[in-house]
Amino acid sequence: MNKPNNPARFLIREVSWQQAQAELREIRSCVFVEEQLVPAHLEWDGYDENAIHLLALSSAGHAIGCARILEKGTIGRMAVLKNYRGQGVGRALLEQAIQCCRERGLNSITLSAQTHAIPFYQRSGFVIYSDEYMDAEIPHRDMQLKLSI
């Protein structure tokens, strides 16, 4: 059965902050700042300009999800707009982010997972390696994926 905002087909595009700042800001403001109440000064942390960004676009061309990859292989800022969740967009973003790290010759990827999303990352092979801690008043644990060379 189709969901109300079923993206039907979507594509993931690798973009720079300079190319897609407006779309990336829109999604992250919506998901992290408004929905999850992450303070704006923590969300806009100064790492965006030099990061690799992934943008998910619906078949109608709307930006519906995003992810960020930092130089040393840290994935973060993984977000899908509420109406488009549960349809594989997050999985596609994560798989492409992993692929992006492989292509850059990295041998491991780390991320700071909100605890509710741990099963989502475990499905792609990430394992927990820290105790729980609070960041922006949200419980997190660090996870890692070792990439075989």
Residues near ligand COA (CB under 6 A) are 31, 78-80, 85-91, 113-114, 116-117, 119-120, 123
**Integer Cα distance of 57 and 7 in angstroms:** 8
Nearer to ligand COA, 18 or 65 (CB): 65
* Secondary structure (DSSP) of 50-100: TSEEEEEEETTS-EEEEEEEETTTEEEEEEE-GGGTTSSHHHHHHHHHHHH
Q: How far is the CB of 106 from ligand COA (least distance, A)?
A: 19
Smallest distance, ligand COA to C-beta of residue 113, A? 5
Distance of alpha carbon 136 from alpha carbon 149, whole angstroms: 35
Residue with smaller CB distance to ligand COA, 52 or 65: 65
Answer yes or no: are the C-beta atoms of 23 and 17 closer than 8 Å.
no
Q: Closest distance between ligand COA and the C-beta of residue 96, in Å?
A: 12
Taking the complex as a whole, the smallest distance from the CB of residue 17 to ligand COA amounts, in Å, to 19
Nearest residue (CB) to ligand COA, 5 versus 149: 5
